[in-house]
């Protein structure tokens, strides 16, 4: 059984973690993999002072790794789109297997990358791109292979989950975001995390892996958490719900729903209890029912754990000289379906609504009748008489499930009422039953 | 790519579920597996009237399946030890791969079975044996392959978890057990479930898979839930804990802990929130930290989901003509360690203690001083003056972590006090931090 040689591109947080874990647990990993995994070359624009390379060749040009004939597996940990894409395509062209933690790359360029890899007969693995160290891609592609996956929902951005968790104590979004930045959980430019773009990258990959549809990141609906207020968090709690920033994908006959947005979930559901920077993915399969996968969604060694799991999967195959590949997205290319992503107006959801209304006896009747005209039933309603302000009171409602298009029309009609002040606050709600 | 032919032995609950899901999702599974999975033969002592066999050959002699030259994979779903062992050994001898849901068989005869399978170069897979449809064996053997697993803990018997969940409403064990039997969750003879034997089978497999040690079921410590009272459940809750029937395995330098017993866990931990018949396994790895896997631990189609996942893993390999095998217990035979299972006296744990003590001023001082003599610190204590009965009151204590041997001695000394009535109630506590 031959050694398998890995070339690491990028020595940042995840690259450093991968190097450390591969070194520290080398003999344990070899005992599991059935072959030795050797780091054959490392390349990074910057040296990482905390890494002892020993006699492992190092270069600043990452393309040295893909051009090294001794490297079997290229591990892409540089992040970003353009150079990463070029690097991965070059590795494939050179007949090398690829392991990447780059969710943006896979979500945006995955279809092209997998086509090239299929043609060359090489593996491209990306477990570390989704939910960090949690082996959820493996669960979807292999563990749940018997199931028609009907939907999945995940807390797949730790920064956002940390912020929403802290806001439950009454703190404002901007205040907690600053703390998250100070703690290193959030980037200086937090857009990717708090606006749901990072989560949409991951959701795109989860949906394709679960449903067998091409990656369609550009059609995902994305709504961030920057407009969530402690007031709404508190009132959702009073109604028995917790607000989580969820990525939700649902398979329907006419297409798939692919959406990231703040969501009310019943407080007693397990996924509602996942707090802080932790991640969890809930998956519904027709045979197994609901399963959930929970753990660290980021961090040097947690992400390295997933990178190395992919490396070992490849190594187990390579060392047997086998051409076996679990299909990139869990389905053989010929078995993929060209289901479109549905516009968000087509989804069905329950809704939390909050309006500022005139405090007079007929106002609730007016609001209910507008909703009723659009076929929307109210499940519960709270009028906050105690918060009378300038003749207006907050009215908070939880509706039954309707199509988003109906809700949009109802909200437009509500906002046109003289009795309503300012925009209607609307947060979607799911009970996953 | 050739078809892969499966022979199903046993058409009970899981056999029927496997047949149904393989039939219903045949094209979806083929699209994922890259080959067709055909049911080539079915054998069962009894016909299952709900199954439409069509033109699939059926026999009452299960050994017809292992002797059918057209069968690639034997799926053993008959349960039990002796005949199942004979069947699996015969299948291996005939060069067939084996998929089983039989935890008892693997926990008790696994070492022998894997040795025979290794010699023949065939795969023996058993995902369905542990935690039903949850792909936790795959997570341990593959997804967490980079990690030194330090410990794992699981709610791995749904019947027991259902009973403890219902007892939180104040109901007695015997009463809930009857309901569980009426609902079909518990067998007429509930010993395997409520005395922790079934959980110990599964824990044995989890521990070996996580740690790379031989299966040592016969040395597992097993304590059931039949002595847990609503009173202790209620008082554990008051102290901030929930009582769960956990299987706990811990890797230490001198050996492994392997134990199933009622356990207090902090109420706000995710695993404490897993209620009813559901299962969850919490795993601690040195790189990834804690991950948890949650879902249905039993049921026809949930278990079938895991059986078929194993079948597809084998089929993907077989259809490529590869000899690749993920090692049976996650480690290559040469990489296994002969670590012994430690006697339960060697474990370290915190403890919930309840004693009936004389209601006089010095009694708590006496109890504390006995504990203190054995190096045991009390974290919290509740004296129930309101429950004065015959001059005695309940005293409930939560201790810091000590070795079980010390606790045994302390309990013997406590029971020897004149001030103490009857045996000391002792339940172990873990915080998993």
**Cβ <8 Å between A288 and B142:** no
Q: Which residues of B touch A294 (CB under 8 A)?
A: 270, 291-294
pLDDT at B263 over 70: yes
Q: How confident is the model at residue A1 (pLDDT cuts 50, 70, 90)?
A: low
At A95, which CATH number?
3.40.50.720
| Whether B85 and B128 share a structural domain | yes
Q: How far apart are CA A43 and CA B325, in angstroms?
A: 32
Q: Does A287 touch chain B (CB under 8 A)?
A: yes
Residue B77 shares a structural domain with residue B12: yes
Interface contact A144-B305, CB threshold 8 A: yes
**Which of the residue ranges B179-188, B197-206, B233-242 would you say has the lowest mean pLDDT?**
B179-188
* Catalytic residue chosen out of the listed positions B2, B138, B178, B202: B202
Is residue B316 less than 8 Å (CB to CB) from chain A? yes
Look-up of token digits 């929307």? A376
Contact B28 A332 (CB under 8 A): no
Q: Do A390 and A263 reside in the same domain of the chain?
A: no
Is the residue at A247 inside a domain? yes
What is the CB-side half-sphere exposure of residue B231 using CA atoms within 13 A? Answer: 10
Q: What percent of chain A has pLDDT over 70?
A: 100
Option in B148, B293, B312 nearest A145 (CB): B312
Q: Looking at the domain assignment, is residue B112 inside a domain?
A: yes
A198-227 residues touching B, CB cutoff 8 A: 212
Quickly list DSSP for A298-359.
SSHHHHHHHHHHHHHHHHHHHTTT------TTSS-GGG---PPBPPGGG-EEEEEEEEEEE-
Q: Is the domain of B183 the same as that of B158? A: yes
Alpha-carbon torsion B90, B92, B97, B98, what sign? positive
- This complex has an ipTM of 0.96
Is residue B429's pLDDT more than 80? Answer: yes
**Angle A404-416/A363-373 helices, nearest 10 degrees?**
140
Residues B234 and B151 in one domain: yes
Between helix B158-167 and helix B173-182 the angle, nearest 10°, is 130
Residue that finishes a domain, picked among B268, B295, B322: B295
| A295, A302 Cβ separation under 8 angstroms | yes
B173 and B98 in a common domain: no
What Cα–Cα distance (Å) separates residue B193 from each residue in A78, A123, B167, B182, B224?
50, 43, 16, 15, 8
Residue B10 annotated as binding? yes
Q: How far is B116 from chain A (nearest CA, A)?
A: 19
Looking at residues B396-410, what average pLDDT do you find? 97
pLDDT digits (tens, 9 = 90+) for A234-277: 999 999 999 999 999 999 999 999 999 999 999 999 999 999 99
What residues are paired with A262 via a beta bridge? Answer: A245
How many contacts, defined by CB atoms under 8 Å, are there between A and B? 228
Distance between alpha carbon A381 and the CA centroid of its chain, in Å?
Answer: 32
Return phi, psi of residue B133, to 5°.
-85, -5
Q: Is residue A372 part of a domain?
A: yes
- Indicate whether A223 belongs to any domain: yes
CATH number of the domain encompassing residue A276: 3.30.360.10
pLDDT of residue A384: 86
Could you tell me which chain B residue has the CA closest to the CA of A323? B320
Q: What is the pLDDT of residue B385?
A: 85
Interface test with chain A among B1, B143, B281, B336, by most A beta carbons within 10 Å? B143
- Partner residues linked to A261 by β-bridges: A246
Residues facing A428 on adjacent strands: A263, A351
- Report the distance separating Cα A248 and Cα A246, nearest Å: 6
List B152's β-bridge partners, or say none. B249, B283
The Cβ of residue A348 has, within 10 Å, a number of other Cβ atoms equal to 16
Query: Would B340 be classed as within a structural domain?
Result: no
From CA A84, how far away is CA B40, in angstroms rounded? 47
Q: Which residue of A has its CA nearest to B279?
A: A291
Query: Which pLDDT value is given to residue B8?
Result: 98
| Dihedral, B339, B342, B348, B350 alpha carbons, nearest 10 | 120
> CA-to-CA distance for B120 and B123, rounded, in angstroms?
9
Q: How far is B73 from B95, CA to CA, in rounded Å?
A: 9
Instruction: Give the residue from B234, B265, B295 where a domain finishes.
Output: B295
pLDDT at site B47: 83
A342 lies in some domain: no
Mean pLDDT over B241-270 rounds to: 97
Residue B4 pLDDT:
96
**A256 and A190 share one domain:** yes
Domain count, chain A: 3
Residue B404 makes CB contacts below 8 A (sequence gap 6+) with B344, B345, B346, B347, B348, B349
DSSP notation for B326-385: --TTSS-GGG---PPBPPGGG-EEEEEEEEEEE-STTHHHHHHHHHHHTT--EEEEEE-G
- Known binding residue A11? Answer is yes
* Residue from B269, B268, B279 nearest B161 by CA: B279
Mean pLDDT (chain B) is: 96
Whether A168 and A289 share a structural domain: yes
Q: Is the pLDDT of residue A204 over 90?
A: yes
Secondary structure letter of residue B169 according to DSSP: T
For residue B273, the enclosing domain spans: 136-295
Contact by Cβ (8 Å): A68, A348: no
Residues B175 and B324 in one domain: no
Q: Are residues A25 and A90 in the same domain?
A: yes
d(CA A398, CA A237): 12
Mean pLDDT, range A421-432, rounded to an integer: 96
Assess B267–A contact: CB distance below 8 Å, yes or no: no
Residues 6+ apart with CB under 8 A from A265: A241, A242, A244, A246, A271, A272, A429, A430, A431, A432
pLDDT tens-digit map of B279-304: 999 999 999 999 999 999 999 999 99
Half-sphere exposure of residue A406, counting CA atoms within 13 Å on the CB side? 18
Q: From B129, B146, B142, B156, select the one nearest B313 (Cα to Cα).
A: B142
What distance in Å separates residue B263's CA from the closest CA in chain A? 20
Distance separating alpha carbons of residues A238 and A386, to the nearest angstrom:
15
Q: Tell me, yes or no, whether B312 lies in a domain.
A: yes
For B7, the enclosing helix (H) or strand (E) is: strand B4-9
Sorting pLDDT into bands at 50, 70 and 90, what band is B320? confident
Tell whether B377 is covered by a domain.
Answer: yes
Residue of chain A minimizing CA distance to B308: A146
Q: Which residues have C-beta within 8 Å of that of residue A14, sequence separation ≥ 6?
A: A77, A101, A128, A300, A303, A304, A307
Q: Where are the alpha helices (DSSP H) in A25-152?
A: 26-33, 63-66, 82-93, 103-120, 136-138
* CA dihedral of residues B27, B28, B33, B36 (deg, nearest 10): -10
Q: Find, in chain A, the residue whose alpha carbon is nearest to that of B284.
A: A295
Q: Where a domain ends, among A335, A356, A383? A: A335
Same-domain check for residues B144 and B282: yes
Taking Cα atoms as reference points, which of B421, B365, B370, B415 lies closest to residue B393?
B421
Residue B398's domain is classified under what CATH number? 3.30.70.260
User: What's the mean pLDDT in B92-101?
Assistant: 98
Q: State the average pLDDT over residues B326-349.
A: 94
In this structure, are A368 and A390 located in the same domain? yes
Which residues, including other chains, have CB under 8 Å from residue B412's CB and lie 6 or more apart? none
* Strand spans (E) along A134-199: 149-155
pLDDT at A326 over 80: yes
The residue from A202, A244, A325, A392 that is catalytic is: A202
Task: Report residue B361's pLDDT band, with 50, 70 and 90 as the boundaries.
Answer: confident
B1 pLDDT higher than 60 = no
Measured from the Cβ of residue A76, the count of other Cβ atoms closer than 10 Å reads 28
Report the share of chain B in percent with pLDDT over 70: 100
Segment B95-103 shows an average pLDDT of 97
- Asked if A330 reaches chain B (Cβ–Cβ under 8 Å), the answer is yes
Catalytic site includes residue A202 = yes
**Mean pLDDT computed over every residue of chain A:** 96
| The pLDDT of residue B217 is above 70 | yes
């Amino acid at each position: 059984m031959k050694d398998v040689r890995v070339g690491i591109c990028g020595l940042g947080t995840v690259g450093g973690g991968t190097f450390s874990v591969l070194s520290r647990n080398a003999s344990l990993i070899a005992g599991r993999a059935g072959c030795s995994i050797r780091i054959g070359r490392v390349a990074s624009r910057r040296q990482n002072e905390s890494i002892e390379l020993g006699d492992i060749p190092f270069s600043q040009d990452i393309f040295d790794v893909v051009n090294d004939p001794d490297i079997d597996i290229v591990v892409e940990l540089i992040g970003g789109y353009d150079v990463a894409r070029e690097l991965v395509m070059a590795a494939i062209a050179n007949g090398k297997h690829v392991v990447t933690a780059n969710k943006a790359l896979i979500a945006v360029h995955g279809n092209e990358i997998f086509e090239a890899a299929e043609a060359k007969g090489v593996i491209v693995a990306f477990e570390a791109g989704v939910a960090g160290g949690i082996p959820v891609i493996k669960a979807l592609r292999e563990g749940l292979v018997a199931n028609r996956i009907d939907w999945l929902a995940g807390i797949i951005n730790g920064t956002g989950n940390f912020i929403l968790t802290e806001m439950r104590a009454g703190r404002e979004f901007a205040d907690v975001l600053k703390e998250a930045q100070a703690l290193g959980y959030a980037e200086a430019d937090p857009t990717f995390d708090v606006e749901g773009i990072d989560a949409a990258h991951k959701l795109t990959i989860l949906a394709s892996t679960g449903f067998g549809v091409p990656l369609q990141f550009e059609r995902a609906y994305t709504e961030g958490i920057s407009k969530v207020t402690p007031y709404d968090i508190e009132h959702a709690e009073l109604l028995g719900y917790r607000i989580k920033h969820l990525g939700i994908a649902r398979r329907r006959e006419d297409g798939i729903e692919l959406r990231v947005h703040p969501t009310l979930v019943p407080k007693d559901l397990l996924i509602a209890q996942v707090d802080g920077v932790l991640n969890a993915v809930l998956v519904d399969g027709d045979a197994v029912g609901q399963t959930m996968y929970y753990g660290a969604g980021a961090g040097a060694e947690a992400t390295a754990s997933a990178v190395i799991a992919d490396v070992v999967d490849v190594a187990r195959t390579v060392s047997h000289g086998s051409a076996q590949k679990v299909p990139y997205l869990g389905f053989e290319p010929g078995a993929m379906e060209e289901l479109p992503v549905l516009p968000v107006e087509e989804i069905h959801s329950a809704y939390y609504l909050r309006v500022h209304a005139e405090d007079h006896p007929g106002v609730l009747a007016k609001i209910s009748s507008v909703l009723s005209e659009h076929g929307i039933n109210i499940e519960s309603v709270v009028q906050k008489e105690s918060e009378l302000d300038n003749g207006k009171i907050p009215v908070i409602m939880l509706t039954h499930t309707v199509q988003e298009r109906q809700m949009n029309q109802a909200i437009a009609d509500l906002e046109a009422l003289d009795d309503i002040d300012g925009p209607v606050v609307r947060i979607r709600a799911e009970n996953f039953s």
